[in-house]
Amino acid sequence: MKRLALAALTASALPTPTLAQRTPAPPPVMIPAEVTRLRDAALSDTTAWDIVEGLTTEVGQRLAGTEAEARARAWAVRRLTALGFSNVRIEPYRMPVWERGAESAEILAPFPQKLTLAALGHSGATPTEGLTAEVAFFSRMTDFQAAPDSAIRGRIVYIGNAMPRTQDGSGYGQYGTARFTGPALAARRGAVAIVIRSIGTDHHRFPHTGTTDFPDGVRPIPAAALAVPDAEQLERIAARGRPVRMKLVLTPRMVGLRESGNVIAEVPGSDPSAGIVLVGGHLDSWDLGTGAIDDASGLAITTAAAKRIMAAGQPRRTIRIVWFGAEEVGGLGGAAYAKAHADERHATASESDFGADRIWRFQVNLPASAAPIADRLQAALAPLGISRGRDKGGDGTDIAPTLALGTAAIDLNQSGWDYFDIHHTPDDVLDRVDPATLRQNVAAWTAMLAVVANAPESIDPVTNR
């Protein structure tokens, strides 16, 4: 009896649930049935594969500003026109062009042997007969930065910087400094040349190229990346404690101003005042492989998705597909596009330039007026195994200048676990593209475009970039 009375007293002392506490969870976000239909149908897409296969087979390597990139632009116009897009055109611009020459490296002492390497974009040249010097070794970029100039002057600098494997590719920005800024710093400090461990996660004997920048007033020195096994071999030799002499032959050259350009196509919208949905990737590639992963896949994915929206009927917003030129050598196409179209209203901008592995996450930077769009995207993309990230969207070299004008951003992030095994190497070829994951990408981009291009909300400029 006493226990029952105590229980009753205790229960009467508890607070009565408020109305807010009794309110059920909000209902799930509903998306139009058409979005679901378009997304699921895209899982059988063949257009993207046809584009990747065609571009890599019929054009091949597409170094910015060269005759090969010009052939790629002509190929793009024919293909985009045949696919039924409107307003297909080339917007040309001029750019300084760098071309690769002969490249070789060998250790002369203490253990003579050949090494595998590739010149970095904008590298300076050795004499035709080559350059020989002692090597100054630095395991990390920070070690190089901390060293006195006397340890660098007159030598060939070597920088390690082993890049870790991550899903989001975050190691590239941190460890890539050896390539991005190492050569210019070595030149300022009196080095005669620089070789770095390739910025990659593989252990194949393929060097990773990529651009380095020499600011005005800094004379370019020969700069190259060693294949990862060769870099590790060089480090083992240095660990023996004897001076290492290396001979380099690198004969790249700047060939003056030539033409590059952006190829543009559109799916016209019914409401010109609603803004343009900008999507695309970059048409140029490095000259070692055929640019299948970087970035024929990105072009193919975004174009195939836009074609599916076009086939379903006129969207509210115009979808503009841009195959940007000259991305690899400094994002020149993106800058030219933003300058040429600064007076137009862009609702959102997105690009695909991280290979063709599965999309696992999306991130946005939308104004408050368009917040419901992100919720609909979450519902539309979840069945494809794609979750919403916590950070702001806005990633991409080509769209960065347009985003800087206040355009909202939507990112569809591919997995980067294996991307840097292939990135900028001779192994960037068609058989590295998985048709199944390519189709998952197309389905995700189709769902995104179906939601964003037809969203009833106003997508205003963002101020919180």
pLDDT digits (tens, 9 = 90+) for 312-343: 999 999 999 999 999 999 999 999 999 999 99
What pLDDT, on a 0 to 100 scale, did the predictor assign at position 3? 38
DSSP β-ladder status, 245-250 and 131-138: antiparallel
Is the model's pLDDT at 1 over the cut of 70? no
Query: Two tokens at 222?
Result: 């020969």
What pLDDT, on a 0 to 100 scale, did the predictor assign at position 12? 40
pLDDT band at 443 (very low <50, low <70, confident <90, very high): very high
Is the model's pLDDT at 14 over the cut of 60? no
CA angle 120, 280, 380 (to 5 degrees): 125
pLDDT band at 29 (very low <50, low <70, confident <90, very high): confident
Q: Are residues 183 and 295 in the same domain?
A: no
Is the model's pLDDT at 13 over the cut of 50? no
What pLDDT, on a 0 to 100 scale, did the predictor assign at position 310? 98
Q: Are residues 121 and 191 in the same domain?
A: yes
3-state DSSP assignment of residue 237: helix
Q: Are residues 265 and 315 in the same domain?
A: yes
Domain, as residue range, for 175: 101-251
DSSP β-ladder status, 359-365 and 408-414: antiparallel
Q: Are residues 296 and 410 in the same domain?
A: yes
Q: In this structure, is residue 282 part of a structural domain?
A: yes
What pLDDT, on a 0 to 100 scale, did the predictor assign at position 2? 39
Q: Are residues 245 and 120 in the same domain?
A: yes
Query: Two tokens at 161?
Result: 């910087």
Q: Is the peptide bond before 110 cis (omega within 30 degrees of 0)?
A: yes
Q: In this structure, is residue 159 part of a structural domain?
A: yes
Q: What CATH number does residue 75 fall under?
A: 3.40.630.10
Is the model's pLDDT at 10 over the cut of 70? no
State which H helix or E strand residue 457 sits in. none
Residues 107 and 132 sit within 8 Å (Cβ to Cβ): no
pLDDT band at 463 (very low <50, low <70, confident <90, very high): confident
* Pairwise CA distance, residues 293 & 200, whole Å: 14
Is the model's pLDDT at 223 over the cut of 80? yes
* Pairwise CA distance, residues 160 & 139, whole Å: 4
Q: Are residues 273 and 288 in the same domain?
A: yes
Q: What percent of the chain has pLDDT over 70?
A: 94
What pLDDT, on a 0 to 100 scale, did the predictor assign at position 4? 38
* Pairwise CA distance, residues 357 & 339, whole Å: 32
Q: In this structure, is residue 142 part of a structural domain?
A: yes
The per-residue pLDDT of the chain, averaged, comes to 94
Which of 200, 226, 251 is where one domain is finished?
251
Q: In this structure, is residue 26 part of a structural domain?
A: no
Work out the end-to-end distance of the chain between its first and last CA atoms, rounded to an integer number of angstroms: 66
pLDDT band at 7 (very low <50, low <70, confident <90, very high): very low
Q: What percent of the chain has pLDDT over 90?
A: 92
Q: In this structure, is residue 236 part of a structural domain?
A: yes
**Residues forming beta bridges with residue 95, ordered by sequence position:** 258
Which residues are CB-neighbours of 17 under 8 A, at least 6 positions away? none
Q: Are residues 118 and 89 in the same domain?
A: no
Q: Are residues 402 and 419 in the same domain?
A: yes
Q: Are residues 37 and 115 in the same domain?
A: no
Which of 203, 229, 251 is where one domain is finished?
251
Q: Are residues 304 and 432 in the same domain?
A: yes
Q: Phi and psi at residue 339, in whole multiples of 5°?
A: -65, -45
Q: In this structure, is residue 24 part of a structural domain?
A: no
Which of 203, 227, 251 is where one domain is finished?
251
Q: What CATH number does residue 209 fall under?
A: 3.50.30.30
pLDDT digits (tens, 9 = 90+) for 256-300: 999 999 999 999 999 999 999 999 999 999 999 999 999 999 999
Average pLDDT over residues 411-423: 97
Q: Are residues 149 and 71 in the same domain?
A: no
Into how many domains does the chain fold?
2
Q: CA 135 → CA 188, 205, 248, 387, 453, distances in Å?
A: 17, 21, 11, 47, 56
Average pLDDT over residues 111-131: 98
What pLDDT, on a 0 to 100 scale, did the predictor assign at position 244? 98
Q: Are residues 290 and 366 in the same domain?
A: yes
Q: In this structure, is residue 462 part of a structural domain?
A: no
CA angle 356, 361, 365 (to 5 degrees): 115
Q: In this structure, is residue 9 part of a structural domain?
A: no
